Structure 1
Amino acid sequence: MTTATIDPRAGRRCHNALNALHSTHYFAPEVGKELGALGVTDPRAVNFAVRAAALGPVGPGTVAAAFYNYKYELVARHVPAVWSIASPDAVLAARARGVDSALRRLLGEQVVTSPEMAEAARLALRAAEACTRGARPLYAAHADLPVPEEPHLAYWHAATLLREHRGDGHLAVLVSAGLDGLEALVTHTATGKGFRPKWVFGTRGWRQEEWDAAKVRLRERGLLDAAGELTEQGVALRAEIEQETDRLDHAPYEHLGAEGVERLTELATGFARAVVAAGAFPGDLFGKG
């Protein structure tokens, strides 16, 4: 039995910094413009298309299962119809163009072409070598895509692999914890680190009454109090969920090694701070209100 040498929390910190850069494309107008040129204009259809395209022309059931916290009816409104507008291959090519433009705008040409970006790409790709496909559909689908040649796109690709690898494992943990997709969102928002409800309603398709019903279920389980705050039991459950997710996602960072994880986290944090400062995300995206 191999003894772990990397603090699981170090892997989580590295992932969080990497994920910040990956996630910029969900809000980047450049990606919307590229998809719009293909005829995909609804922002929610764009979201489903760019993330699910690696899976191929799948139906709503597959997307709802893989995404987990989106309302099925919203998914079915756009999938599989979006594939009749633009093929998955066309969407993936448009996504790459949009990501390229967005990163150049957010980071600037000097950072995009820097030795540090090339170093970060090498480190992130090395970490991704230890990711595994079993029971990880979104990771496995993206792992079948070619690695881009340009360092900033290779780094974004590796960040995507590591994000989806952790995300697929995280969903397994949520299922084991007995939280459905909406309940997972409610408890995450209650930590202060998740989407504000207005963004959940706008992007995930849920309504206020469904949100309120989920809160009732969570109160009955002792996870939320009357004010909608996490109870001691709820705080403990969220902590357990993250710890178990860390465990399932430990291999990439163990493979990279302590020095590599530290250096990749340093580089990724710098890039993440830069894109946040450049306005990559809405200011009211996260919080409890």
Structure 2
Amino acid sequence: MTSTTLPERAGRRCHNVVNPLHSTHYFSPDLGHELAALGIEDPSAAYLAARAAALGPVGAGTVAATFYNFNPELVARHLPGVWRKASVEQVLAARERAVDATLRRLLGDEVVGSPAMAEAADLALRATEGCTRPARPLYAAHADLPVPGAPHLAFWYAATLLREHRGDAHLAVLLAAELDPVEALMTHTATGKGMSPKWAIGTRGWSRADWDAAAGRLRERGLLDADGGLTDEGVEFRRGIEVETDRLDRGPYERLGAAGVERLTELATGFLMPALAAGAFPEGMLGRN
């Protein structure tokens, strides 16, 4: 019988090494190549289409709501127009080809076809059995997609479900904390663990004026200091957001159990380190600067 007693933050630690392996394809030239062949050449359009395709040929409103921290004006520049260039089925197939190419390039064929990858896929898929659909639109949409047959793609698929399951819960917590999209981005970058401000502003479509205005609001709340760092109150505030997200996302990791979570964390870490060394993410993307 699976134990539901987990060490503190065990689920979050597991998420923190599984999620980047999902995210690698968004920054991969393979995704750009695949979608450019369909007529989707703009990097923002490619990201929005690849992540939103599971929802169907939706418009800007749905994507802005479910992605949360993107400027709706940026989303509206590309959606629903992108679906006139390619169907969701074409985008999903292109995304899977890009994931295959990306993981093979970053990890090598030997790791992709290894028993460790098959074990990680089995563990991650078992964890997804503890996910729930209500009020989780991005998770539920991806959960409707078929599980790929190849273990490395099945692992990536399960990582996608785990990512979006936590992400959907996280948005509920941000709403309860009364953080708007730019404030949410800013408090995350201020921890030093998210995208740098330059990347957050550029990829999410906000202006420097939007960013500065959000900083003013956060300073008024006592969460941000004059240098753009979190105050003591801000640190505790952000900690509470992550703890509450952990609570709402506990199902998959309780389903897997303490030993399973520890093993999945170990395996995913073993994949992530060489992927990072191989340049999985652009230089300067992460951190406060």
Q: How does 1:50-89 map to 2 (within 5 A)?
A: 50-89=50-89
Q: Is this contact kept in 2: 1:136–1:165, CA < 8 A?
A: yes
Which position in structure 2 is the counterpart of 1:167? 167
Which position in structure 1 is the counterpart of 2:142? 142
Gaps of 5+ in 1: none
Return the TM-score normalized by structure 2.
Answer: 0.98
| Percentage of matched positions with identical amino acids | 69
Distance (whole Å) between structure 2 residues aligned to residue 177 and residue 8 of structure 1: 22
- For 1:214-266, what per-residue CA distance to the aligned partner results, in whole angstroms no more than 9, with x for missing partners? 00000001111112111111101100000000000001000001111110000
Instruction: Quote the offset at 1:190 in angstroms.
Output: 0.7
Partner amino acid for 1:247? Answer: R
Instruction: Quote the offset at 1:8 in angstroms.
Output: 4.4
Distance (whole Å) between structure 1 residues aligned to residue 224 and residue 242 of structure 2: 18
Which position in structure 2 is the counterpart of 1:249? 249
Distance (whole Å) between structure 2 residues aligned to residue 61 and residue 10 of structure 1: 35
Distance (whole Å) between structure 2 residues aligned to residue 259 and residue 110 of structure 1: 26
SS of the counterpart of 1:5?
A: coil
Instruction: Quote the offset at 1:283 in angstroms.
Output: 1.7
Distance (whole Å) between structure 1 residues aligned to residue 191 and residue 219 of structure 2: 15
SS of the counterpart of 2:9?
A: helix
Q: How does 1:100-111 map to 2 (within 5 A)?
A: 100-111=100-111
Which position in structure 2 is the counterpart of 1:17? 17
Distance (whole Å) between structure 2 residues aligned to residue 255 and residue 197 of structure 1: 36
Distance (whole Å) between structure 2 residues aligned to residue 99 and residue 256 of structure 1: 25
Confirm whether residue 274 of structure 1 aligns to residue 255 of structure 2.
no
Which position in structure 2 is the counterpart of 1:96? 96
Q: How does 1:162-241 map to 2 (within 5 A)?
A: 162-241=162-241
- For 1:58-94, what per-residue CA distance to the aligned partner results, in whole angstroms no more than 9, with x for missing partners? 0100000000000000000000000000111110000
Q: Is this contact kept in 1: 2:4–2:255, CA < 8 A?
A: no
Partner amino acid for 1:260? Answer: G
Instruction: Quote the offset at 1:201 in angstroms.
Output: 2.1
Distance (whole Å) between structure 2 residues aligned to residue 144 and residue 4 of structure 1: 26
SS of the counterpart of 2:226?
A: coil
Q: Is this contact kept in 1: 2:4–2:257, CA < 8 A?
A: no
Instruction: Quote the offset at 1:7 in angstroms.
Output: 2.6
- For 1:120-175, what per-residue CA distance to the aligned partner results, in whole angstroms no more than 9, with x for missing partners? 00000000011001000000000000000000000000000000000000000000
Instruction: Quote the offset at 1:4 in angstroms.
Output: 4.8
Partner amino acid for 1:221? Answer: R
Partner amino acid for 1:100? Answer: D
Partner amino acid for 2:36? Answer: G
Partner amino acid for 2:233? Answer: Q
Distance (whole Å) between structure 1 residues aligned to residue 225 and residue 92 of structure 2: 44
Distance (whole Å) between structure 2 residues aligned to residue 268 and residue 91 of structure 1: 26
Moved more, 193-202 or 9-18: 193-202
SS of the counterpart of 2:90?
A: helix
Gaps of 5+ in 2: none
Q: Is this contact kept in 2: 1:8–1:250, CA < 8 A?
A: no
Which position in structure 2 is the counterpart of 1:286? 286
Residues paired across the two proteins, number? 287
Instruction: State the Cα RMSD in Å.
Output: 0.9
Partner amino acid for 1:201? Answer: I
